[in-house]
Amino acid sequence: MLPILPLIAAALVLDGLARPQAARRFGAGWRSAEGSVLLALVSVALYGGFLALCGNAALSVLLAFALLALLTLASNAKRAMLGEPLLFSDLALVGAIFRHPQFYLSALTRWQIAAMVIVAVLLAALVAWLLVPEPLPHLLGAGLVLASLAALMAIMRVPRFGALALVPDAEADVMRLGLVPTLLLHWRRWRAVVEAPASPPVRRAIGGDDAPQLIVAIQCESFADPVELFGDPALALPALAEARNDAWQWGHLQVSGFGAYTMRTEYAVIFGREESELGFRRFDPFLTALRDTAYALPRRLEPAGWNSMFIHPHDMRFYGRDRILPASGFARLVGENSFDPPAKGEGRYVTDAAIARKIMELAREAADPALLYAVTIENHGPWSADESAEDAPSGTQASRLVAKYLRLVAKGDAMLADLRGGIASLRRPAMLVFFGDHRPSIPGASEPGGERHTPYVVLRFDAQGRPIRGDGQRRDLTPAALHHLVLDCTLSPAAD
């Protein structure tokens, strides 16, 4: 019992460092009593788990504290970079680090990777060295785990605890309850979400003569208007400006993530469901997207004879796309095996230009009405990871990062121009939907706390390849509303 008390005290102090910090009372920040009780029980469970593993009480305290410290450090770092604390759904990505190490490790320097390996080896050696072979402490640890979990289950039946974290507001809950209690409570709410089965999509008739027979949707990585990001009109993207002038509709896309969370925007555009409908699923809707396949854009277009393809030059197992997208009506996934690896000097990822060429190749081959939904990757940060000092511009670290971002966002703009010209040359009724998934997170230049929107443009072409213009007024949309705009432009509102 004695080692547990210092651990609980240290955990409470440590949790006070997690941001956002609690309101200050009596000269210090204090979480709620309910949050402190939950944190104490979780700390006991962690201690018991490590004790069951190694049998060494002192080492178990250190390991439990280290894990809590790691969560706090990760959450504070994430909030500084992305504008929100660690979420329970983020823990699902831990497995992705091992399944797709190249996606994460490529962002680290060699010495950082080496340091991680050394720490892991030393930690394993320490556990092996201090392992206690006698069975009694291991059994005591297992008993502590069972007892603390039973206490957690029982206490959540108390109305005062059962009423905690009823709405998905991570910022407010961490401030009031603490980081670890919020992770636990939000996970429970997410697990408890029960929804009625999705209704079959309403059948809608094929649109009129001017309805598009080809839809190209581009989810452009980290694409944002540099004028809005950095306040310099000289940074305007020419293709984006021209597209806005000729657009059927354009405006700000009100994405919820900053610097990350591609899957939130992607889910909303494909499935058309607002975050307000999802509850605690909103944090990572791809975790439960298989229950929503009837809402998917390909499924809604399918009765009208549409063929849908998804293009993304990365491992389709990421986010479970290999399972979710076919179930959602995408007849073909065009993944990394369909692209040549980046040439020397092209960076870590397949270029936007290569994706544009592949899209036009598929568009020319498409005989049936076709939806081509593409997700780019070239402008994925961090932007300084694979460039030498000789290539880097002079100036502050922030200015160098901005220069690299501007170079890559210009390639996204060039992709918009190439696709616009290529689709017009097909001389068939078509629609080009181009939007950014989220703003970039650039320390010292583009940071969380302000606006989050990205640009979107919807270009329509008649059978001669000429643009069909709208009224030119800016209209701001959520990503889910963009889904419904595409449907409304493509199918008639008829019910049968």
Q: What is the pLDDT of residues 130-154, one digit of tens each?
A: 889 999 999 999 999 999 999 999 9
CB atoms within 10 A of CB 92: 14
Question: Is residue 120 very low, low, confident or very high in pLDDT (cuts 50, 70, 90)?
Answer: confident
Average pLDDT over residues 348-368: 95
Tell me: do 222 and 185 sit in the same domain.
Answer: no
More confident residue, 304 or 494: 304
**389-422 per-position pLDDT tens digit:** 444 556 688 888 999 999 999 999 999 999 999 9
Average pLDDT over residues 158-171: 96
Q: What is the pLDDT of residue 28?
A: 55
Q: How many residues does the chain have?
A: 496
Tell me: do 163 and 269 sit in the same domain.
Answer: no
Tell me: do 29 and 159 sit in the same domain.
Answer: yes
Average pLDDT over residues 481-493: 91
* % of the chain at pLDDT higher than 90: 76
Burial of 104-142, coded b for 16+ CB within 10 Å and e otherwise, reads eeeeeeeeeeeeeeeeeeeeeeeeeeeeeeeeebbeebe
Residue with tokens 């896309």: 253
Tell me: do 257 and 361 sit in the same domain.
Answer: yes
Tell me: do 187 and 247 sit in the same domain.
Answer: no
Whole-angstrom distance, CA of residue 374 vs CA of residue 433: 10
Which domain range does residue 137 map to?
A: 4-192
On whether residue 208 sits in a domain, the answer given is: no
Nearest to 202 by CA among 442, 496, 487: 496
Looking at every residue in the chain, the average pLDDT score rounds to 91
Whole-angstrom distance, CA of residue 307 vs CA of residue 298: 8
Q: Are strands 430-436 and 214-220 parallel, antiparallel or unpaired?
A: parallel
On whether residue 203 sits in a domain, the answer given is: no
Tell me: do 254 and 324 sit in the same domain.
Answer: yes
Tell me: do 362 and 238 sit in the same domain.
Answer: yes
Tell me: do 267 and 389 sit in the same domain.
Answer: yes
The CATH number of the domain where 449 resides is what?
3.40.720.10
Q: What is the pLDDT of residue 1?
A: 57
Q: Which residues face 391 on adjacent strands?
A: none
Tell me: do 136 and 282 sit in the same domain.
Answer: no
On whether residue 128 sits in a domain, the answer given is: yes
Nearest to 288 by CA among 183, 191, 165: 191
**Alpha-carbon torsion (30, 34, 37, 40), positive or negative:** negative
The reported pTM is: 0.92
**412-464 per-position pLDDT tens digit:** 999 999 999 999 999 999 999 999 999 999 999 999 999 999 999 999 999 99
Average pLDDT over residues 477-490: 96
On whether residue 359 sits in a domain, the answer given is: yes
**49-91 per-position pLDDT tens digit:** 999 999 999 999 999 999 999 999 999 999 999 999 999 999 9
Whole-angstrom distance, CA of residue 169 vs CA of residue 186: 9
Phi-psi region of 401 (alpha: psi -120 to 50; beta: other; left: phi over 0): alpha
Helix (H, G, I), strand (E, B) or coil at 14: helix
With 0-12 / 13-18 / 19 or more C-beta atoms within 10 angstroms meaning exposed / middle / buried, residue 18 is: buried
Tell me: do 259 and 145 sit in the same domain.
Answer: no
Residue 95's contacts (CB-CB under 8 Å, 6 or more residues apart) are none
Whole-angstrom distance, CA of residue 54 vs CA of residue 253: 51
Indicate if the pLDDT at residue 496 is higher than 50: no
Whole-angstrom distance, CA of residue 149 vs CA of residue 132: 24
On whether residue 207 sits in a domain, the answer given is: no
Tell me: do 283 and 370 sit in the same domain.
Answer: yes
With 0-12 / 13-18 / 19 or more C-beta atoms within 10 angstroms meaning exposed / middle / buried, residue 486 is: buried
On whether residue 410 sits in a domain, the answer given is: yes
Helix (H, G, I), strand (E, B) or coil at 309: strand
Tell me: do 373 and 453 sit in the same domain.
Answer: yes
Domain count along the chain: 2
On whether residue 205 sits in a domain, the answer given is: no
Q: What is the pLDDT of residue 388?
A: 45
Whole-angstrom distance, CA of residue 415 vs CA of residue 354: 9
Residue 203's contacts (CB-CB under 8 Å, 6 or more residues apart) are 303, 495, 496
Output DSSP code: residue 292.
G
On whether residue 28 sits in a domain, the answer given is: yes
Q: What is the pLDDT of residue 113?
A: 74
Phi, psi of 103 (to 5 degrees): -70, -30
**252-300 per-position pLDDT tens digit:** 999 999 999 999 999 999 999 999 999 999 999 999 999 999 999 999 9
Whole-angstrom distance, CA of residue 11 vs CA of residue 9: 5
Nearest to 440 by CA among 227, 222, 237, 231: 222
